[in-house]
Structure 1
């Protein structure tokens, strides 16, 4: 996707005040090898268009010599995203940048996948309902019927697709079709207790977020709370990460911990973890939808507000 920027002007009138009807906000994400002049090249082109920068974040990774930048800027509605892309093209080509240009006027679309544990899904739906998450849920997909009533109450289409060894690839093909037909920007595994195939993980790399009920890289795989209980840990946690073919090893977006004690049971660990999982997943989804997450090999760069 591509974006736009505003022409120079005098003092803003009420009709063109920041956030007014004649403006919209765009976000530019870029990465490239670090060289002098990158920021100047980009901001010079935006200034020539009259863009008004409202937020700017940057990071240089000395290990890879990669430079990462996120810029939010306001542009007049009359300029298209293609206009901004054309204006930035000389800088993009000169520095061999990888860019993503998006218009915040378009509400992101998401697919939520869930099995029987619905707490993370419920928290996402609530945060969307109150406006903290700005997204449209185009479908809830589950291998069980458990959450159908919740989807219907929210007015969200529900897809009950049972999974067996024989039907797994067919179900994943249906998911790909759904993502393409609905224009989904993100697939969220909200305690969806099925492992995606290597093929699907590669096809949707960077577009699927999973919540793992453990502070990775500790206690991967099944029943991590029970593994933690058996080891007598004093902290449990949750990790939101992008899905890759390597189980529970995708680039990490967000993590949080919860203190536990020797007096708690494995079931107490599970109960304590539910709140952490819900918060961590919602925070990761928000960062992704706001284009604050950039992939850096096996890691991520996450720009805070």
Structure 2
């Protein structure tokens, strides 16, 4: 069974060794290992993807052993396997202001086009609470009165609802590196409201308009610690406008039609296992 392990904690020597030695000793076949050492933050992070021999040892036992290592090494260690439970993948839909995208996701889940479960909706603003209530999805607010998120609370909510995939549905806050590393390995999907890599940043419609573009778009990609990196693209959709189209009309068309379409298809590709993230690159796994 494919299993992903992440370990994050204060930087020190010999942090990866006990994890690697333990899993290989049981008979795991390691497919991928990534390690990060950020001196400026004094933070160590590791992501390990492997084939775990469940006939030798269950994932529950693996998790218990790694919890012991985590306590000894002051590491937060997470063990995640898509196939550990016989259920649909559980999504956390994360929002700020706009409700078009969570509406599209929830409608597609309701209608069976997305084979997933909306486990929880999370917002740093309460603007989309009514969408959660409309679809009877638990809502959790993690922002203060200025919209600044409590990222510790964010992680606690993800754990509370046993989330498999985190969907940033125009969640207008940058996730801190630690959170990205804790849920690394293709578990965080972001919608960027512009075509990457040409138009990154927070105002891609405005930037493209200032370059007199007639084609605009959206990009859904896996999150890695580098912001809007280019090799993690799952899906891109574009639309063309006539010369002289006002910027407000461009944005309206992008937000109400193109962006929801882009993200829904990206999530479908992931939950249907057509794509995965290997070595920071999206690969096709469709047979």
TM-score interval (norm. to shorter)? 0.5 to 0.7
**Structure label with greater radius of gyration:** 1
The change in CA–CA distance for 1:150 and 1:32 in structure 2 (over 3 A counts) is closer
C-alpha RMSD over aligned residues: 2.9
Q: SS of the counterpart of 1:288?
A: helix
CA distance in 1, matches of 2:130, 2:82: 37
Contact 1:109-1:138 within 8 A present in 2 as well: yes
TM-score normalised over the length of structure 2: 0.68
Q: How does 1:265-304 map to 2 (within 5 A)?
A: 265-274=246-255, 275-304=257-286
State the Cα distance separating 1:2 from its structure 2 match: 6.5
The change in CA–CA distance for 1:32 and 1:158 in structure 2 (over 3 A counts) is closer
CA distance in 1, matches of 2:145, 2:126: 15
Q: SS of the counterpart of 1:107?
A: coil
TM-score normalised over the length of structure 1: 0.64
Partner residue of 2:15? none
> Could you list the per-position Cα deviations for residues 88-137 of structure 1 after superposition, in whole angstroms to 9, with x for gaps in the alignment?
xxxxxxxxxxxx77379411111000111111111000000101111111
CA distance in 2, matches of 1:219, 1:140: 28
Gaps of 5+ in 1: 4-29, 34-80, 87-99
Q: SS of the counterpart of 1:102?
A: coil
Q: SS of the counterpart of 1:196?
A: coil
Could you list the runs of 4 or more consecutive aligned residues of structure 1 that deviate by over 3 angstroms after TM superposition? 30-33, 81-86, 163-168
CA distance in 2, matches of 1:128, 1:166: 28
CA distance in 1, matches of 2:190, 2:159: 20
Mapped pair 1:187 → 2:166: yes
CA distance in 1, matches of 2:114, 2:276: 19
Contact 2:94-2:168 within 8 A present in 1 as well: yes
State the Cα distance separating 1:289 from its structure 2 match: 1.2
CA distance in 1, matches of 2:133, 2:105: 15
The change in CA–CA distance for 1:104 and 1:278 in structure 2 (over 3 A counts) is farther
State the Cα distance separating 1:276 from its structure 2 match: 1.6
The change in CA–CA distance for 1:157 and 1:184 in structure 2 (over 3 A counts) is same
Q: How does 1:1-305 map to 2 (within 5 A)?
A: 82=54, 102=83, 105-163=86-144, 168=149, 171-205=150-184, 206-249=186-229, 251-274=232-255, 275-304=257-286
Gaps of 5+ in 2: 4-28, 33-52, 59-80
State the Cα distance separating 1:298 from its structure 2 match: 3.3
The change in CA–CA distance for 1:84 and 1:279 in structure 2 (over 3 A counts) is farther
CA distance in 2, matches of 1:304, 1:267: 39
Contact 2:119-2:137 within 8 A present in 1 as well: yes
